[in-house]
Amino acid sequence: MTPEQLKASILQYAMEGKLVKQNLNDISAIQNLKEAREKIKEAIKNKELRKEKYTQAENNGKLPKNWGVARLKEICEKNNSSIKRGPFGSSITKSMFVPKGKDTYKVYEQGNAIRRDINYGSYYITKDKFESLSAFQVKTGDIIVSCAGTIGKTFILPPKIEPGIINQALLKLTLDTSIIDKKFFLLEFESISVQLNLHAKGSAIKNLASLKYLKNKVDFPLPPIEEQKRIVAKIEKLMPLVDEYAESYNRLQKIDNEFEDKLKQSVLQYAMEGKLVKQDPSDEPASELIKKIENEKAELVKEGKIKKSKKLHAITDDEKPFDIPDSWEWVSLGQIINLISGRDIPKKDHLNKEIKGSIPYITGASNIDKNGNINISEWVTNPTVVVNKGTILLSVKGTIGKISILDLAQAHIARQIMGIDNMFGIDKKYLQYYIESYVQQLQQKAKSIIPGISRDDLLLAILPLPPIKEQERIVIKLERLLSSINSLYL
């Protein structure tokens, strides 16, 4: 069970009346709820509260007998400003903001989520604007709820806040504390946050677009007020234990994930040292394969199909990190590949759907998932660096070391990607596994605030090259072993 699941279970127990014992001496919440409903009728009659149609909720027998089930307006103060969503975006815009000073009022904003202090919101409005939006004013003790992006986070406004209003991403609630404890309400709201997110609207940014669902469809189980306080006290004792559990859980998860990575790296290293499969004396040695590669590259240069690469230095014994079998050879990666550097295309030329004459645009590591699959979300009609099916793709900027073999006919690659065009008779999968074994060293070479590696970081990397037949046997064995490791961690 994850820490999140454990916390959710505790909250669920609490909201079902199973966390603390009921006390028959507590004043029944049903009686409090009945009085709250009478207050609503009276407030409507006195024009203190707008008349709104809403459905009452009742205890269905699954909760303790002295519990009620309330709607949101029944547990809030009985006035029109006790439940208030921030003003529409057109009511308050950045053009209205002024520097902080005399007779200015703060605009409380959500940010990424409700923070655990009140020092958020750096915008201010004039006194006139504040007075025109005074219905959205917040005060000490109000509860604010996030309604966009991160939905359902709650916070009680502390003493001595700056006078101000909420923006459109927040909902303000003023609770009737004779019927519900504020801290209990925060716990209750946290327990329904998943439900709210399921009913949120929007694709890019989720938004609690309408309050109708929250007001009329969401049940708020209501224990007696004294039991609410006992529930809060119990959870406040339990949460530090949940936090301790989370630390242990996350530490074990980290160890588990690192073990999987280390196990895979060990298997890859074993393969690169020639210890994974037996050598076959009948295999043509790698020295002959290198001669064929050199001849083929020279012919392609002569035909103008590739550029002549600069001469690479001979590999010294000191550079060789381990011993390899006699039939193998050490080579620089630049000797056996054609390296293609990506190039960016202006954002204005990106397409969000495929059209005739366009090809996929691979912008960076975000296009490659953890299984090496390529996900395409953009296309271009003016490609400048085109790679073909079978090219090994490697992310080289930002996130270093994501790898995939292109399974599309063609694609344009941005500068965050390099393509390894293996046209010289090396097994592609063997080359991919070598790069995976070398990724940590590439990451160590990455420079600057945004990590990145150069062409030479790849071209000068040295690779243990087996005979081609042994490469194929290594790939078969590696795929079987890595598949077994993956199945252990599903």
Does residue 6 surpass a pLDDT of 50? yes
What amino acid is encoded at 39 in this protein? K
Q: How far apart are CA 484 and CA 233, in angstroms?
A: 48
Per the domain annotation, does 490 fall within a domain? Answer: no
pLDDT at 183: 94
pLDDT of residue 146 exceeding 90: no
**Rounded CA gap, 25 and 291, in Å?**
93
- Counting beta carbons within 10 angstroms of the beta carbon of residue 169, is it exposed (0 to 12), middle (13 to 18) or buried (19 or more)? buried
Q: What is the mean pLDDT of residues 348-353?
A: 92
Which burial class, exposed, middle or buried, applies to 194 when counting CB atoms under 10 A from its CB (0-12, 13-18, 19+)? exposed
User: Is 439 part of a structural domain of the chain?
Assistant: no
Phi, psi of 380 (to 5 degrees): -140, 155
User: Is residue 463 a part of any domain in this protein?
Assistant: no
Q: How many structural domains does the chain have?
A: 1
What is the C-alpha separation between 162 and 140, in angstroms, rounded?
Answer: 9
Q: How many whole angstroms separate alpha carbon 470 and alpha carbon 12?
A: 58
Q: How far apart are the C-alpha atoms of 132 and 129, rounded to whole Å? A: 5
Q: Is residue 433 part of a domain?
A: no
- Classify residue 125: in a domain, yes or no: no
Mean pLDDT of the chain: 88
Tell me the three state secondary structure of residue 5.
helix
Q: What is the domain extent for residue 350? A: 338-421
CATH number at residue 394: 3.90.220.20
- Is position 30 within any domain? no
pLDDT in tens, 176-224: 999 999 999 999 999 988 888 787 776 555 677 678 888 888 999 999 9
Q: Which of 188-197, 212-221, 306-315, 360-369 shows the lowest mean pLDDT across its residues?
A: 306-315
Q: Cβ(321)–Cβ(341) under 8 Å?
A: no
Q: Is residue 398 assigned to a domain?
A: yes
Identify the pLDDT of residue 151.
81
In 3-state terms, what secondary structure has residue 409? coil
Residue 76 lies in a domain: no
Residue pLDDT, tens place only, 68-125? 999 999 999 998 888 988 887 778 887 888 888 888 988 888 654 344 444 556 788 9
Query: In terms of Cα–Cα distance, which of 275, 85, 346, 120 is closest to 361?
Result: 346
